[in-house]
């Protein structure tokens, strides 16, 4: 009884579910049999595991493969392989590791020269397949082929059977053979003329650059760290030298140079002067000092000559803030910049440690300068070295900016002037004011005597009558 009332609906529901599942299975099978429409994301050519690009990345030409990845050229090469076969001339690893000029390699790896690196690598790839059996023989056909960098490569075969690409010999022909390309091993790197010119242009500009047109960063005098980060271009050297980045500690000065009696020209003083000027620029905060040294060519030349002959120098370098306080009167006299600079050159090799130990031991120390006969006075103050006395004093602000055993550069926060010169100017100014303001008053008797002498036409020898 219950079966006839409730059983039939249950059987009907089972049949409906069975029919629905059968319909879904048949629909899925029919859709899988139909050809699929490629999606929009698969427009780029697909590279299989048997591609010449995969073979290059897995080959023993690891240096070239790393350069291709650093130059971000894989998408470009995938597109080229998808359109036609390619021929890759791969330099040996030794040619890129040991035989390549280190300066040129640094130039290629700098982020700002990515375009030059890409041009160089594309110069090694021809957009068609050239196997060892298809090499041009003799004068038949055009021996030049266009590369992916739009330059042309010259392929030649010599009488001894040696094949060459421009100036590079093919040491391993048909090193890698794949359906979409071939790789030939060559002995050296191929450099297009455009990349070579770009490298020479950058190197010449770097050698003649004098003053960077950038403001000096602010340095905390207590920690010798930058107060706020400075935006440095990619690939540029750091603003502060490595010595400030490391923990402070005792430092020993290198051995001094031999005396002037030694052989002349033993040191390259001109290069050392250029080096310490570049160090001032990279350190930051001393662009004015470097500008004066560059513009006063005779001073820089003389410093280089002295160092070449064996003399040693310590440069007390005022920072930009101190140089900005110089007045027009201080610089208007003929030869004033040279005299100011000569007073900041000490003909000794001194470091911050040696000067501080001297002032701690002897109190006041007088150092000779190249502005004879004036000397600069140094004494201990607030745990540092103070140069000069009174209002014209300057503290050792940035110690040991540059030390190479012959030239030592110590940064100070003021411009120094000889004490004798300041006293002379002060006396002249005081005497001039005394004549104008504090003129002595003559008595009645002296006035009558002066009047009588003037009536007779005689000049008085009394100073009060004049």
In this predicted structure, the answer to whether residue 226 has a pLDDT above a threshold of 70 is no
Predicted TM-score (pTM) of the model is 0.39
To the nearest whole percent, how much of the chain has pLDDT over 70? Answer: 65
Size (the chain), residues: 466
Task: Give the pair of three-digit tokens for residue 94.
Answer: 């030794």
How far apart CA 80 and CA 226 sit, in angstroms, is: 48
Strand order in the sheet with 144-146: 125-126, 86-91, 181-186, 168-178, 163-165, 152-157, 144-146
Confidence of residue 25 (pLDDT cuts 50, 70, 90): very low
DSSP 124: T
pLDDT bracket for residue 255 (50, 70, 90): very low
Distance in angstroms (rounded) separating the CA atoms of residues 172 and 151 = 23
Residues 354, 385 contacting (CB under 8 angstroms):
no
pLDDT of res. 123: 94
- Nearest CA among 229, 29, 50, 194 for reference residue 123: 194
Whether the per-residue pLDDT at 167 is higher than 80: the answer is: yes
What per-residue confidence (pLDDT) applies to 213? 56
Cα maximum dimension of the chain: 172
| Mean pLDDT estimate for the chain | 75
pLDDT value of position 455: 61
Among 201-210, 316-325, 327-336, the minimum mean pLDDT is found in 201-210
Question: What's the CA gap between 367 and 348, in Å, rounded?
Answer: 8
Q: Which of 173-177, 277-281, 309-313, 447-451 has the lowest mean pLDDT?
A: 447-451
Q: Is the pLDDT of residue 370 over 50?
A: yes
pLDDT digits (tens, 9 = 90+) for 30-53: 444 444 444 334 455 566 788 889
3-state secondary structure 1-30: CHHHHHHHHHHHHHHHHHHHHHHHHHHHHH
CB 383 within 8 A of CB 440: no
Question: Is pLDDT larger for residue 358 or for residue 161?
Answer: 358
Residue 204, token pair as written in the block: 């010449």
Q: Which residues of 134-159 are buried (b: 16+ CB within 10 A; e: fewer)?
A: ebbeeeeeebebebbbebebebbbee
202: left (phi over 0), alpha (psi -120 to 50) or beta: alpha
Residue 59 pLDDT level (bands cut at 50, 70, 90): confident
Cβ count near 41 (within 10 Å): 6
Higher pLDDT, 91 or 438: 91
CA gap 45, 449 in Å, rounded: 119
End-to-end CA distance of the chain: 157
Between 14 and 204, where is the model more confident? 204
Residue 88 has a pLDDT of 94
Peptide bond into 95 cis (omega under 30): no
Q: Give me the mean pLDDT over the 235-264 stretch.
A: 44
- Amino acid 42: pLDDT: 42
pLDDT score at 229:
64
Residue 254 confidence class, pLDDT cut points 50, 70, 90? very low
pLDDT digits (tens, 9 = 90+) for 427-450: 555 554 444 444 444 454 555 556
Spatial separation of the C-alpha atoms in residues 202 and 207, rounded to whole Å: 9
- Greater confidence (395 vs 97) lies with 395
């Amino acid at each position: 009884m219950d079966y006839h009332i409730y059983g039939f609906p249950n059987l009907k529901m089972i049949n409906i579910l069975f029919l629905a599942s059968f319909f879904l299975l048949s629909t899925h099978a029919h859709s899988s049999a139909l050809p699929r429409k490629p999606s929009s994301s698969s427009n780029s050519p697909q590279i299989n595991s048997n591609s010449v690009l995969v073979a290059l990345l897995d080959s023993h030409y690891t240096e070239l493969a790393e350069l291709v990845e650093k130059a971000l050229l894989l998408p470009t090469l995938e597109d080229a392989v998808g359109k036609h076969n390619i021929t890759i001339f791969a330099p040996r690893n030794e040619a890129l590791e040991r035989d390549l000029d280190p300066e040129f390699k640094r130039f290629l790896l700098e982020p700002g020269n990515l375009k030059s690196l890409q041009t160089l690598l594309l110069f090694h790839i021809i957009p068609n397949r050239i196997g060892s059996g298809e090499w041009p023989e003799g004068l038949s056909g055009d021996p030049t082929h266009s590369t992916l960098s739009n330059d042309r490569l010259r392929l030649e075969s010599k009488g001894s059977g040696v094949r060459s690409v421009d100036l590079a010999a093919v040491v391993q022909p048909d090193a890698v053979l794949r359906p979409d390309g071939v790789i030939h091993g060559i002995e050296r790197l191929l450099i297009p003329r455009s990349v070579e010119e770009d490298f020479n242009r950058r190197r010449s500009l770097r050698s003649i650059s004098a003053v960077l047109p950038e403001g000096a960063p602010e340095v905390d005098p207590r920690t010798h760290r930058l107060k706020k980060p400075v935006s440095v271009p990619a690939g540029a050297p750091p603003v502060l030298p490595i010595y400030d980045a490391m923990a402070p500690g005792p430092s020993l000065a290198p051995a001094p140079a031999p005396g002037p009696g030694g052989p002349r020209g033993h040191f390259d003083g001109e290069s050392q002067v250029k080096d310490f000027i570049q160090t001032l620029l990279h350190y930051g905060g001393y662009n004015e000092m470097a500008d004066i040294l560059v513009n006063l060519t005779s001073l820089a030349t003389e410093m280089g000559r002295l160092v070449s002959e064996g003399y040693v120098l310590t440069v007390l370098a005022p920072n930009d803030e101190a140089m900005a306080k110089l007045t027009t009167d201080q610089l208007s006299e003929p030869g004033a910049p040279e005299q100011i600079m000569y007073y900041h050159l000490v003909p000794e090799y001194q470091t911050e440690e040696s000067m501080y130990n001297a002032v701690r031991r002897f109190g006041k120390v007088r150092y000779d300068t190249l502005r004879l006969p004036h000397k600069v006075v140094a004494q201990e103050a607030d745990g540092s070295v103070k140069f000069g006395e009174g209002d014209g004093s300057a503290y050792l602000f940035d110690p040991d900016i540059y030390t190479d055993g012959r030239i030592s550069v110590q940064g100070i926060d003021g411009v120094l002037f000889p004490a004798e010169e300041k006293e002379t100017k002060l006396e002249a100014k005081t005497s001039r004011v005394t004549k104008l303001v504090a003129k002595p008053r003559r008595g009645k008797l002296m006035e009558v005597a002066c009047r009588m002498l003037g009536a007779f036409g005689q000049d008085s020898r009394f100073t009060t009558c004049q």
